[in-house]
Structure 1
Amino acid sequence: MIYLGIIEDEPLMLQSIKESFALIPNVKVTLEAESMEECQEELTDDLPLNMLFLDINLPGLSGLHGIHFLKERRPDLDIIMLTNKDDSDHIFKALCAGAVSYISKKKASPRVLQDALFTVSRGGSYMSPGIARKVIGHFARPNGARKAKLTPRQMQIVELLVDGLSYKMIADELKIGVETVRDHIKKIYKSLEVNSKAQVIRKRMDGEI
């Protein structure tokens, strides 16, 4: 079951997201808020929530800064950013903070919202095409940095992270335990001097691994 939250200050956009999932039986909206401050009041410990659409440009505390609060309260929460800002700086700040997907509001049709939600629920990531091109363009720049050295198993895990697989999916693919995957990830973070999956992916795409 997907327990969905929506933090969006534009009433029409919020309503559009709700209507996109109203007739889908395995999705239930459990949190609605128009600001991070309202979310902080409503996000109780017993509230079921495993997926969230988050507007990056909220009044008061921005969605970008709100990611840190949300990940502290719910480390396993999958956050899909909604934005009118598609510049590279905002994209990478959101991804490095812990967001797993990034959608342009201009392209946020019901089908796009549904595709994004179910792609993320399967352990993948979703980006609007225009935003994806910006990410690829950033990663494609020349880079002469020294490559970090990882073990063959760690490199396998990095490649699967780049492919968008979750820890559980990586464990199944490599026929190892989830905790073993977590141990490898910790060692990868230490070797690369990073602290997030997005940073690992960025280093791989930059040719630093």
Structure 2
Amino acid sequence: MPASDLSSAVVWLVEDDADYREAVAELVRAHVRSVETFGSVEAVLARVDGIGTGTLEGGWPEVVLLDVNLPGVTGIEGLSELKSRLPGSVVVMLTIRDDADTIYAALGAGASGYLLKSASPDELLGAIREARAGGMLMQRQVARLVLASFEAKKPAPDYGLTKRETEVLAEMVDGHTQPQIADRLFVSLSTVNSHVQSIYAKLHVHNGSAAVAKAVRERLVESSEA
């Protein structure tokens, strides 16, 4: 079954705001196999400990939606432990905070996505699909904020990208599709596709989400719309 079909997906939601937790759970529940909710990282770890190596009815989570600013152990603090205890799961962070330090801390701890709580239902479901498929989800405004915050940090590594490939990668970071990039750079779609495949090879990634994630983490480009 393709990853774009969420009907078999198992999702855990870790969120202390009961109203938001129930709203998200209700939305996601309509599209996935099962949703289990928790109010804290500690509650998740207790659940995992209680199951041990046994079989979990409904299945272990493929995607964990984790609030950044939880009471007690925060989402950032608990991320590494959750990934260790749930090795088959990927984690998407949920937050109202869009400051660069928090975003980078989440990415550095291994989050597979970072989503603002103001995201639309389609963006939330898209984040689950992307993470489940092994991709990296980062809203456009989040990616641009992180890139802007890295201006004074250490030089980016050199992957041998050409000037045009760097331009294409910057367009990808800004959320543009290949046809849009072709229009913006006044080149053919086949030329853009060729550049994209070369970018994947040089960055040692296999899809656009991974390329964008690497560009953001390693400050490989500046936003094309800065």
Give me the TM-score of the superposition, normalised by structure 1: 0.69
| Corresponding position: 1:203 with 2:218 | yes
Of 89, 97, 109, the residue aligned with 2:120 is: 109
Of 62, 67, 72, the residue aligned with 1:55 is: 67
**How far apart, CA to CA, are the structure 2 residues paired with 1:71 and 1:117?**
16
Of 81, 92, 109, the residue aligned with 1:97 is: 109
TM-fit CA distance, 1:21:
1.9
**Larger Rg over CA atoms:** 2
- Partner of residue 34, structure 2: 28
Of 7, 10, 13, the residue aligned with 1:3 is: 10
Identity %: 28
| Corresponding position: 1:130 with 2:161 | no
Unaligned runs of 5+ in 2: 1-7, 161-197
TM-fit CA distance, 1:115:
1.5
In the comparison of the two structures, how many residue pairs are matched?
171
Give me the TM-score of the superposition, normalised by structure 2: 0.64
Contact preservation (8 Å) 1:3, 1:49: yes
**How far apart, CA to CA, are the structure 1 residues paired with 2:220 and 2:87?**
25
Secondary structure at the counterpart of residue 78 of structure 2: helix
Unaligned runs of 5+ in 1: 167-197
TM-fit CA distance, 1:16:
1.1
Change (3 A) 1:144 1:9: closer
Change (3 A) 1:75 1:124: same
Change (3 A) 1:110 1:206: closer
Of 145, 148, 160, the residue aligned with 2:155 is: 145
**How far apart, CA to CA, are the structure 2 residues paired with 1:146 and 1:120?**
26
Q: Tell me the alpha carbon deviations over residues 100-134 of structure 1, each in whole angstroms, 9 at most, x when there is no partner.
A: 111111x2332221111112222222223331221
Calculate the aligned-residue CA RMSD, in Å: 3.1
Q: What amino acid maps onto 1:117 in structure 2? A: I
- Partner of residue 176, structure 2: none
**How far apart, CA to CA, are the structure 2 residues paired with 1:88 and 1:95?**
10
| Corresponding position: 1:160 with 2:160 | no
**How far apart, CA to CA, are the structure 2 residues paired with 1:205 and 1:19?**
39
Of 71, 74, 77, the residue aligned with 2:89 is: 77
Contact preservation (8 Å) 2:135, 2:210: yes
Contact preservation (8 Å) 1:79, 1:101: yes
**How far apart, CA to CA, are the structure 1 residues paired with 2:76 and 2:85?**
15
**How far apart, CA to CA, are the structure 2 residues paired with 1:13 and 1:56?**
14
